[in-house]
A and B are shown apart, each in its own frame.
Chain A
């Protein structure tokens, strides 16, 4: 058991993935000498060489498109997109190529690629540095999408994503990079595409992932004072969703609030609400409520605290759910 930040845990996980398989290659902007703008790849080029940890020209479509070619050649590229808002130049390559090549080749081409995406806000950044584009990718058949929320998951999930023979969009909660936690480097991790109940409770379920897991846990703690016992589920896997874990919780609590930073309209919460309604209709005591970013472009940073779900907005939704 080692205590480290989420960022360091990703670094350690990537190091182990590079060690485990010589076909693993890291590509991205500034990931070499600098170690990435968030230092997630710090020291890796020094130890694994410029042939395996590659500083790319500043062109996201080029980074992902060449990674497609590397994957076709038998490599397992791990691509870093510097910030969430920079992924869009690569959107065509991700959606039209990365996601589809396995299908259109009837399985003859595999795309064991990881696209690392520091996502979400709360760091006081300028425009295009705080977005939550996970729903775009979750909507796309052929991609798998996951998000870690704590150092232990970061350490293991990045290795599992690299080991996956399917392409994985790996959403990293950038505002949690510096938060510390225990990492168990020995015991077997849970499967990548499985959600986790991070706090059991009876009265209502908070469904969340990535940076909002901590916020939801804080909200659940505050709710204790009001005598409310909230269950918190860290979804971890956004596509595919682990509906078994979700349904078990809904059967118990009958009330659900989904929480994410992304805008609510057609976000993950919408899909969760639909699937819960289909699968758990008779267990529901209230409609599934959604808390998320407003359906506005991500705001200037001095008002991001208003835009992002916080403890109060989450508990307000819990109140409304319990009022049914």
Chain B
């Protein structure tokens, strides 16, 4: 199996990996310190791929996708809807209706492929860009906007959706995921050979987060307790303006072996490969074999957030290069060739996406502003007399302006 801890093995390179994908290997990364092709974090190295950028299915010795074209079409729809939500939210920010938006443009395959691998009883701990995973978990897109419009600090019921709130402090959620997984273990919902009950946790984070202490501590704790958690790192090559080589001198997935669990690098723009690898890792976790690190090698095609200007730190040619690896295009190309979809299907999904975007826009504009007087109410489960008094005084103060303009 792939890169089992301690064996020093690695995933065999799949056929069809585009050698041009290595354009970003930087000269200043000390290649000599590492064997073979495994250079810095920006070196794609060994990459699990099942669908090439040209939309050709390829085999891999360890991983395969056995789903139907109908299933693949479902993923395509998921990705198209995610991209449309993302585009509408970006537009809403540009028009002043959102304070900020963190685009997931280009990362749809990583998010849908992993999100669709989750079972109902599995629980996801996102960073703040996992709009595609939220889609898979059934979080209404409008609820994602609340935080970015500033009407709420969260937006959805994490317990109902098994999708915890976005976490802005980089990497903090990996520890929550690990603790939650330890709780699952204690609850006895791991390793029962019961596919309907056995559960696992998936935690999302980026290449920048791998430098955080919390992420490294999460690796230590999860390994120590063999917690059922999958660490899903979307290496989108950029932590705002810093290239992934700034975070690591070795490919990120190889970090896992130092902590004592397997790491796999997957083509993050290949929804089928991501689906296959994530399912494998989740199965390991659910069956009690402990954590896995997945590095989904992808690209942030947009800015870090709407406040960012990537033209200041990266070349337009790089974006063009990655555009040829678009996660949606390759699936569309494959399915149109295989006959899984036709132009009518695409037109229907596009229309559906436009309708969703329209609803999202009107819903966003109608989001109620938060009530300052009510804001005192969620600080504690058991309200303190001091805060109750502050709330009452503020309510009185607000009321004193009633009738004035």
Shortest Cβ distance from B320 into chain A, in angstroms?
38
Q: B273 within 8 Å of A by Cβ?
A: no
Q: Which of B158, B169, B175 contacts A66 (CB 8 A)?
A: B175
Q: B242 within 8 Å of A by Cβ?
A: no
Contacts of B165 in A (CB 8 A): 101, 104-105, 109
Q: A247 within 8 Å of B by Cβ?
A: no
Contacts of A110 in B (CB 8 A): 381
Shortest Cβ distance from B369 into chain A, in angstroms?
15
Asked whether A66 and B182 contact (CB < 8 A) given A61-B217, A92-B169, A109-B158, the answer is yes
Interface Cβ pair total, 8 Å cutoff: 136
The answer to whether B214 touches A61, judged by C-beta atoms less than 8 angstroms apart, is yes
The answer to whether A165 touches B382, judged by C-beta atoms less than 8 angstroms apart, is yes
Contacts of B218 in A (CB 8 A): 62, 65-66
Residues from 109 to 131 in A contacting B, C-beta threshold 8 Å: 109-110, 112
Residues from 144 to 181 in B contacting A, C-beta threshold 8 Å: 152-154, 157-159, 164-165, 169, 172, 174-181
A68 to B377 alpha-carbon distance, docked (Å): 21
The answer to whether B180 touches A72, judged by C-beta atoms less than 8 angstroms apart, is yes
Contacts of A141 in B (CB 8 A): 379
A65 to B164 alpha-carbon distance, docked (Å): 14
Return the chain A residue nearest B166 by Cβ: A104
Contacts of B380 in A (CB 8 A): 102, 142, 144, 166
Contacts of B30 in A (CB 8 A): none
Q: A202 within 8 Å of B by Cβ?
A: no
Residues from 73 to 115 in A contacting B, C-beta threshold 8 Å: 73-75, 77, 89, 92-93, 96-97, 100-110, 112
Contacts of A108 in B (CB 8 A): 154, 157-159
The answer to whether A51 touches B186, judged by C-beta atoms less than 8 angstroms apart, is yes
Contacts of B379 in A (CB 8 A): 102-103, 141-142
Asked whether A241 and B386 contact (CB < 8 A) given A57-B220, A108-B158, the answer is yes
Contacts of B378 in A (CB 8 A): 102-103, 105-107
Q: B183 within 8 Å of A by Cβ?
A: yes
Number of B interface residues in the complex (CB < 8 A) = 40
Shortest Cβ distance from B292 into chain A, in angstroms?
18
Contacts of B182 in A (CB 8 A): 66, 69-70
Q: A311 within 8 Å of B by Cβ?
A: no
Contacts of B186 in A (CB 8 A): 25, 51, 75
Return the chain B residue nearest A105 by Cβ: B154
Contacts of B258 in A (CB 8 A): none
Contacts of B174 in A (CB 8 A): 65
Shortest Cβ distance from B181 into chain A, in angstroms?
7
Return the chain B residue nearest A97 by Cβ: B172
Contacts of A221 in B (CB 8 A): none
The answer to whether B387 touches A65, judged by C-beta atoms less than 8 angstroms apart, is no
Q: Which of B174, B180, B380, B382 has the most CB of A within 10 A?
A: B380
The answer to whether A69 touches B154, judged by C-beta atoms less than 8 angstroms apart, is no
Q: B384 within 8 Å of A by Cβ?
A: yes
Return the chain B residue nearest A142 by Cβ: B379
Q: A243 within 8 Å of B by Cβ?
A: yes
The answer to whether A68 touches B176, judged by C-beta atoms less than 8 angstroms apart, is yes
Shortest Cβ distance from A134 into chain B, in angstroms?
16
Q: A260 within 8 Å of B by Cβ?
A: no
Q: B67 within 8 Å of A by Cβ?
A: no
Shortest Cβ distance from B372 into chain A, in angstroms?
14
Asked whether A69 and B176 contact (CB < 8 A) given A104-B165, A142-B379, A240-B385, the answer is yes
Q: Which of B164, B174, B177, B183 has the most CB of A within 10 A?
A: B183
The answer to whether B178 touches A69, judged by C-beta atoms less than 8 angstroms apart, is yes
Contacts of B140 in A (CB 8 A): none
Asked whether A240 and B386 contact (CB < 8 A) given A73-B179, A106-B154, the answer is yes
Contacts of B184 in A (CB 8 A): 73
Q: B187 within 8 Å of A by Cβ?
A: yes
Query: 0/1 per residue, A176-197, Cβ < 8 Å to B?
Result: 0000000000000000010000
Would you list 21 pairs from A and B whose C-beta atoms are within 8 A, ordered by A residue? A57-B221, A61-B213, A62-B175, A65-B214, A66-B218, A68-B175, A70-B179, A70-B182, A73-B183, A92-B214, A100-B153, A101-B165, A103-B153, A104-B165, A105-B153, A105-B378, A106-B152, A108-B157, A164-B382, A166-B381, A243-B386
8 smallest CB-CB distances across A and B, nearest first, come from: A69-B179, A65-B175, A73-B183, A66-B179, A62-B217, A104-B153, A69-B180, A165-B381
Could you list which residues of chain B lie within 8 angstroms of chain A, going by C-beta atoms? 152-154, 157-159, 164-165, 169, 172, 174-184, 186-187, 213-214, 217-218, 220-221, 224, 377-382, 384-387
